[in-house]
A and B are shown apart, each in its own frame.
Chain A
Amino acid sequence: MSDVKTVFGALDNYQKGGVEVIDDDPRNYVFSNVFEVAARSKPYERVAVGKNFEYVIEAVRAEGTSPWYACAHDEFALVMDGRVEVRLLKPETPAVVADKAGAVALGAPPVGRKMGRVVAGRGHMTLLPKGSAYQFHADRASVVTIQTIQGEVTIERWADICQTG
């Protein structure tokens, strides 16, 4: 039996590193921790923790049932802690225009065909296919990161989440 210990983080158990400045400004590194961000977020706030021009990585505290979202391009959800169900649906009519960037929260459950569902645990990556609608559900607080494009549901609060000194 191997005595190796791989260290993953969790919402209630993470050890944050940090920037040790020699001759620099720590803000240049936009350093945060996805578990800390999720711990301080309301359920299903999609907080940007990475940004590269129009693209973002969002950190999400998954807890209970989310709104339905739709997106015109692919997105990918990576569970970092906990267990999350992803429900997928193909709307009868497109829920967002084709060139819309980022996810859109839908006011009501869309009408369409069930595509299926995925139950994802830590380390599992799920495709959120373009043109679909999706909803998350987690029985207990979990953490998901989403590879996507900045959109109307993306929240930016860099000064609150990043190392500044």
Chain B
Amino acid sequence: MATPVVEASEPDNYYGYRRFRKGKFEFQRDEYFVHIRWPKGTHTMAADVFLRALQRDIAWNFFYGTVNFDGVFGTLNHYGTVDIFAGRFNDAYRKAGRDYNETYASDELMATFKAMLDDWTNRGYDPFAAPEETKHPYGRKDGENRRAIERLRVTAKRMVGLPGDTPLRSDAGGYPVNRHFADVPQDRPEIHAEPGFENEVSAFNLFAYLSRSDVTWNPSVCSVVKDSLYCPTSEEFILPVEHGNDRVEWFMQLSDEIIWEIKHKETGAPRARVICRAGDICAMPADIRHQGFSPKRSMLLVWENNSNAIPALIQSGKAPVVPVVF
């Protein structure tokens, strides 16, 4: 397969950043902002907001459904192809006919997004980190932080810690306990396996594992029952995107608190606020978008059904947008 073409300018003489073009979308950054242009309009976002969203969109491989960087710009995953849009999920833009959309093979758009993130992330800035844990992203071009932005999302095949599966986290492995989880016990389950069953009698401390996560808002697969994926994650500050669901997903709050703002997926109209505290569990319907606010670093279990049949079932009305009717 041919290497995707990335259309980028030479570095700007003053700011030092490259400009990028994908189709008729143009992307430019300066000291504070990212400017997006398309045939029917322009848009401006704070550089940190854009880079945090871009980092997740890349790490999640465009994720499930819609990744709204904000109320105007984002991507819509078709699992093989992906839409890049402006105003597509904004009621005012839609009614005024100002929305705009282009579709690309996922790998093709991903190449441009990765090049943009690489060029626009300065030395010491980690878009995966909470703001308290990293330098600010502003200013003129100053080095790079490839070590931070090229971290991979964990995807266990069966369960974290099993032989041949994704490993546990430790100090020695470069995963110290996060400052907000300094009080989380690091004890281990007692495992007494009979000879011959060492690979199947298995358990690990999930809370300790999450206390050592070095990223925020990055659901990672930790246990798998066919298409049922447990994707726990540690959260702090604001979910950098408004995630528009193409299927129901579930949240079980494992520790502390997250406040979710829920909006209509298509229009962005507010629908509800959901306050989740430890032990709370709730569904995100397939016709909403959501954004979370975590005052302290918290542990969240994101639960996904990975079946690729679901988006079509919901779009066609064969499956409801809510998981349970009662």
Interface residues of A (CB under 8 A from B): 2, 4-9, 14-24, 26-36, 49-53, 55, 57, 73-76, 78, 80, 86, 88, 90, 113-127, 129, 132, 145, 147-149, 156, 158-159, 162
Contacts and interface: CB of A to CB of B under 8 A. Distances in A.
B189 A17 contact: no
Interface of B: 158-160, 162, 179-185, 187-194, 197, 200-208, 211, 222-228, 230, 247-250, 252-257, 262, 269-285, 296, 303-305, 307, 310, 319, 322-324, 326
Given A125-B206, A127-B162, 9 more contacts: A14-B279, A23-B270, A30-B281, A31-B281, A52-B248, A74-B225, A90-B197, A118-B202, A158-B324
A51 B160 CA distance: 23
Contacts of B193: 115-116
Contacts of B192: 116-119
A96 B190 CA distance: 28
A129 B225 CA distance: 10
Nearest to A35: B279
A75 B281 contact: no
A115 B203 CA distance: 14
B277 A20 contact: no
Contacts of B255: 6-8
Given A6-B183, A52-B305, A122-B207, A76 B230 contact: yes
B288 to A, nearest CB: 8
A98 B224 CA distance: 18
A119 B190 CA distance: 5
Contacts of B201: 88, 115-118, 127
A55 B277 contact: no
B256 A6 contact: yes
B179 A32 contact: no
B198 to A, nearest CB: 8
B284 to A, nearest CB: 8
